[in-house]
Structure 1
Amino acid sequence: MIRYDRSRRRFAIALAAMAGFVDAVGFLSADGYFVSFMSGNTTRLGVDLGTDVVRAVTPAFLIAGFVAGVTSGALLSIRAGRYRKPAVLTLVAALLLAGATARALGVPVAMLAALVMAMGAINNTFQRDGEVAIGLTYMTGALVKLGQGLAGWLAGRKDTGWLSWAALWGGLLSGAVLGAMAQDRMPMACLWIAGCWATAMVGVALRLPAES
């Protein structure tokens, strides 16, 4: 996060907020399972395998869908080259709009499949040397870096990079709040909002300065 310029940091925060929005909608639609937080789903999978094997189908399905989304996004990013960001986000937008369509048609399984694949794919947006540089759908690593940076600041270092990690976490939290409100108040519209949000991010990605 701290290695990127200000425009890309803001872009990452906006994407994290979108991920939080979608994950809140998915969480409320999937009986407490997640469409972006696979650590939580893995724990649920273990609990379900140990207590009620039939229920384990849901977290297993979501984890497999997430991996499929990551794989699809990674393949697309390799082929897109310098246009990786807009290409990946176009895929994310298409999946979110597909999820909105599935909800409108009353097919919740297809909706969740589209959402979890979108959240997997979006993590290919920021890469360095072929690896994820900023995780947009999971914040454990960001909070660790926030704590480490805060410790350095309290110890007298001038580095304020921890503020960027705090902002990224705040973006996901803010998006989750908005997603929960949207799901509660206008459930048939919230995924269309997410799809339009992702489409707008494609335009932002195209306007970002070229990376070295």
Structure 2
Amino acid sequence: MHRIGDSAIAAVTVVALSSGVWLLGTAGTHAPPQPATAESRPDPGEEKLSAPALPPSPPTRIRIPSIRVNAPLMGLGLTSAGSLDVPPADDKNLAGWYEAGTTPGDTGTAIVAGHVDNTQGPAVFYDLGALRRGAAIELDRDDGSVAVFTVDAVEVYQAHNFPDEKVYGAAKRPELRVITCGGGYSKSTGYQGNVVVFAHLTGSR
């Protein structure tokens, strides 16, 4: 598989991962949960040890049991403007992964993205902001293996202050970022930023 370096999607935020239109009819009373703080990384000694990297293999499904996510994955590329493409908004239980980058479980930073909502209501990553440190994320892979990640932090960033290198930068161990929209909602402009989950590989089966 041809691999574009992690820096290829630097300066990209995925504010297109939500419509927010359904909120207009509910007065915003059902806005998705947001992380309590944007600086929630644990001390290094608190993190579970990393598992050995897995051979490259495309992911086919993501499961996050604590927030009841169980969704197929499609490959995502870059748009003509160089931003990360997004899954079709009309399928509320579909997420995507950046298929020109690192495959989840291999050494580096793998990227998974999905909508927080669509025009009908909550979508696949609606509850992403409710995840907590230590939660498990499982990704089924095409080779039959399952890569198991442990959440290190859940952070929210405003679009104008999105830390590209922190989110998309290269890693020396297998890491995962799961991204959706968040950061507050405005009827005039939609969601103001992104929720980002930081996780690293802690097992496989």
Interval containing the TM-score (normalised by the shorter chain): under 0.3
More helix, by proportion: 1
Structure scoring higher RCO (CA < 8 A, sep ≥ 6) equals 1
Find the structure with the greater CA-based Rg: 1
Please state which structure has a larger fraction of its residues in strand: 2
TM-score scaled by structure 1?
Answer: 0.27
